[in-house]
Structure formats: structure tokens, C-alpha cells
Structure 1
Amino acid sequence: MSETIRVFAGDCTTTFEGSRARTQRGRVVVVVKPDRTVLVHDADGYQPVSWLTRPDSLTVETDASGFGLVARADDQVLRVRSHDSAGRAEYPVTEAGAPVGSHPSTGEPLVRTGGAVVALDSGTEYKLPAGATVLDETCEECGLPTMRAERGAVFELCVDRACESLDDAVRDRFDGEWACPDCGSDLRIIRRGGRLLAGCSAYPDCETAFSIPAGVVVGECDCGLPTFETARGRRCLDGTCEEFADG
């Protein structure tokens, strides 16, 4: 769900103690973000006249006569005290992201923020695999956006894992495709400890397992395991393989 941003305005004295020590007075707008970051803006330019990012503590007091706040981070202290309050308000706010369409059920906007697609109004979140790209196309089953992800091959799937599973797609393509270099048993596609792995089917007798990188298989390493083309160059499925130690 959305968090809230608080906005205060008025004739204020702003005092900063620390590396940017100064005292100022003027009619300003004070913005307090959900992470406690405080920004004090005056009439000029885009940069605040004073600020404190993610302070350790924040105290805000309001009454009929006005408002005051104190933010502290180590030896830095930001104080704002109003002499004449022009007003205060609180608004819902979310992280901003690139628009990627609208939710097929609710109609609310969808945005990509970091590693997820998020519905702005409800806060519903669809986690994306590392390196995934959100596409313009929508899922034929549910209408959500589709994504492109590389895990040995290129897969285009719904962003909702409950609709289409990347794990299942990789398993269908590569389960049993490669042999364990330690015992010769098949490597199975599994998820363990939050990671997608090619793990030995002889487990627990053989504990060999390799994390599947974001990339596509382009050949075979001298050790017998597949070679992947990734954003950082070519590498063996075994990230410690000496064949690519200097690559």
C-alpha cells in the first residue's frame, strides 16, 4: 500500500548543526518523506536550502500555533520551527517507476520499480528475476505485462509467477540436460535457499550444485559443463571453473 508524505509550509527558522552549519529564516515548504528524509525548500532553484537524508530519529510536533521538527543523524541535527504556519497536509506516495501498462482487473497503473512491477494503488507487487526486461506485450492468460528473462535460454513469460513460472520453464528445458562433474549423475533444476540451481540428482550423497546465471548457453566448457554468455562476458556454469578464471 502507499505510504504518506507530509508537507508543511510557513515562515520558519531552519537551523542545521553539523558539516553544513547555518541558520536561515524565510517562507519555506518542508517535505518529510516516509523514510524520514527532511527537505526544506525556498523560492529559488531545485536544491533544498537544508536537508537531512534518512535521519536516525525524527520528531514532529504540531498544534494550533504551528509546527516544529527535529531530525538527528549522528552529530548532525536539523531543526525547523514555524513562526507563522501557512498550512500542513499529508498525501499518499509511492516509489516512482517506469510505466508498464495497467492492471487488467483493477485498471490501476503498473510501474517498474527496481526489481518488481508494482500496482500503484494497491501496492500489489510482482517480483522480477535478476536481469529481466518488461515487454510491451501482455499475457494472453491474465492480461498482465510479460517479461524477458535469460536462464540458459531466452524465456518470455508473464510477470506473475503464479500465472507462468520461470522455474518450471527452465526445468522443462534443462532438467537432466547436464551431468554432475563429480559423480556423473544428472543435474536437476531445483530451487534451494532462494536460488535457482542445477543440483546433483544424487543429493544428499553428492551435494554438487551450481547457481544458474542470467545468460544463455552458447557452448560447452572444457570441464564438460555448459558455457553461458552473460552481461559480464562468458562463464562456465561452475563459477569457480579455472577455464574462465582470467576471463
Structure 2
Amino acid sequence: MTEPVHVYAGDCATSYSADGDSRRQRGRVVVVHKPDDTVLVHDAEGYQPVEWLTRANAVHRETDGDGGFALVAVKDGERLRVESRDDADRASHGATAAGTEVGTCPDCDGTLVRARGAVICLDCPAEYGLPRDAAMLDSTCDCGLPRMAVERGARFEVCVDRDCEQLDEAIRERFDREWSCPDCESDLRVLRERTLFFRCEGYPDCETTFALPDREVVGTCECGLPQVRRADSSCTDDAARADSSARATDPRCLDSECAETPETV
């Protein structure tokens, strides 16, 4: 969604103070005030600003009738002030998050990009949150949105719109009641409380819980729980061309404290 970025340019005096320390600078600079109230002051050299305040608690802007401006940003104990010394150029431009292009918005035909943990449209407010490890696919859902792949014990391919295809339901259909509790032999249920996890159906009499694996289930441990591929046993380029059994090397039990899980060497 487009939000305004305010830009100022001219001969400016800049002062920054924090925890009793202060510094002052003057020069012809470009000042950028972003929608998240980050303020950046750039001079003629390099990519790094000469002064900045990230995500200020408050930003106050003033302009005068002679073309000058003053801007003050504060955050906790920090204070940044930029004041023009003569006429300054001022402009406001629409901006959006930038990311990798992933498709076309079915609502407005705008461009969809993946940015900051979501798929967002550059031309309308459409936004779809993504799991942190989601991989975008080349395929498109029947609704017109792109599809994603997520590994949660198995590979799931679903629409990025969770109201269209629900990742939680796909995982439950695959793994709910798939294994028994090693303590009481009741079924392990797939539940969500902030995140997905397994909990014994005998709760609260049995409080056994396990985190839902974010890697592939490759077998069954002698204790009866699933074995998952270790994080440090990912394939090299050569191994990726081998069959799926190569990826099951050195699995671990879902229960990290299981005595049947071999130690990593």
C-alpha cells in the first residue's frame, strides 16, 4: 500500500543528542522522512546517512512562508533536529515496500511482491502473511494468487491466502492422530496456540507436548514417535541428486530427549 515519503533538500544545520552527548553538522543535504518515522540525513558521499533516527516515537515538521523547514524527531533519550538555513526544496512521494515480484494481484491487477514476511500488492492494500520459511512456487492458485511451499513434517503446497487454502488444515489432515503419546498411548493431536504443536489427547491428565517439526519426517523411532531429518544433515548439490533415502541420514526423534536418538558427532 502506498504511503508518503517526505523529502527535503538544501543547506541545513543538523543536531543530534543522546545521553548527554551531542554533535552538530552543517551542509547541503537531502533529508528523508519515511512512513515508519525513520529520518535519514544524506550528504554527497557514500550510502550511509550522516545522521539518522530509526523509527522515532514522534516526528514534528514545520515550514515557513520563506521556503524553509525544520524537522524534529525524538525517540526515548535521542533527539534529531534538522533546520534549513535558506530556501529548501520539499516534495512528497508515494512509496511501498520493495521485494521480489511473485505475481499479479487478482483484485486490482497490480504487482505482487514478497517483502518483509508477506506477499503484498504495490497498488492496493492486499497483503498475505507468510511463514518465515515459505518458498514461493511458480504455480498459481485458482483464485489467482501465487502458491507457496512449507515444510512441516512433509512438504505442503498451498495458496498464500489462508482463507483460500488453510495450511493448518492441510497439516492436521496429514498428521492429526498419526502417532500415539509415548507416555499414555493416547492420540497426539495437532493444535495451535500461537504456533502449531502436538499435544496428547489425554490432556490435562497427560501434559505431553511436542513441537511440530519444520523438517521432513523420514521414519519412526523405536519409541514410536516420528523421526525427522536433522538441520545439519541438509543435502549438498551432489546429494540433492540422490534418492530420498540419502536425505534421511542421521535422523532424530521428535522427542529431543529420547534415549534412542543418536548423539551428533
State the partner residue of 2:153.
152
State the partner residue of 1:161.
162
Shifted more, 27-36 versus 198-207: the winner is: 198-207
- CA spacing shift, 1:9–1:156, aligned 2, 3 Å: same
State the partner residue of 1:61.
62
Shift of residue 133 of structure 1? Answer: 0.5
Give CA-to-partner distance per residue, 1:209-230, whole Å, 9 cap, x none.
Answer: 2221211101223432111125
Give CA-to-partner distance per residue, 1:52-79, whole Å, 9 cap, x none.
Answer: 2233443222222311122334554322
State the partner residue of 1:196.
196
CA distance in 1, matches of 2:84, 2:100: 37
- Tell me which of 115, 128, 131 is aligned to 2:130: 128
Shifted more, 141-150 versus 2-11: the winner is: 2-11
CA distance in 1, matches of 2:84, 2:199: 63
Shifted more, 193-202 versus 15-24: the winner is: 15-24
**C-alpha RMSD of the superposition:** 2.5
Give CA-to-partner distance per residue, 1:126-172, whole Å, 9 cap, x none.
Answer: 12223110112111x21211111111111111111111111121122
Structure 1 runs, 4 residues or longer, greater than 6 Å off = none
Shifted more, 170-179 versus 48-57: the winner is: 48-57
Q: What letter corresponds to residue 108 of structure 1 in structure 2?
A: G
Q: TM-score, normalised by structure 2?
A: 0.81
Q: What letter corresponds to residue 238 of structure 1 in structure 2?
A: D
Alignment check: 8 A CA contact 1:213 1:230 kept: no
Give CA-to-partner distance per residue, 1:74-133, whole Å, 9 cap, x none.
Answer: 554322111223322222322222111111231111111232211222232212223110
Q: What letter corresponds to residue 16 of structure 1 in structure 2?
A: Y
State the partner residue of 2:86.
84
CA distance in 2, matches of 1:138, 1:8: 42
Structure 1 residues without counterparts, runs of 5 or longer: none
State the partner residue of 2:171.
170
Alignment check: 8 A CA contact 1:188 1:201 kept: yes
Q: TM-score, normalised by structure 1?
A: 0.86
- CA spacing shift, 1:232–1:92, aligned 2, 3 Å: farther
Aligned pairs for 1:1-247 (under 5 A) are 1-17=1-17, 22-65=23-66, 66-73=68-75, 76-139=78-141, 141-191=142-192, 193-229=193-229, 231-232=231-232, 234-241=251-258, 243-244=260-261, 247=264
3-state SS of 1:84 partner = coil
3-state SS of 2:86 partner = strand
Structure 2 residues without counterparts, runs of 5 or longer: 234-250
CA distance in 2, matches of 1:78, 1:151: 46
Higher strand share: 1
| Percent identical residues | 56
Shift of residue 190 of structure 1? Answer: 2.3
3-state SS of 1:152 partner = coil
CA distance in 2, matches of 1:130, 1:17: 37
Q: How many residues align?
A: 245
- CA spacing shift, 1:79–1:201, aligned 2, 3 Å: same
CA distance in 1, matches of 2:212, 2:78: 45
Alignment check: 8 A CA contact 1:148 1:157 kept: yes
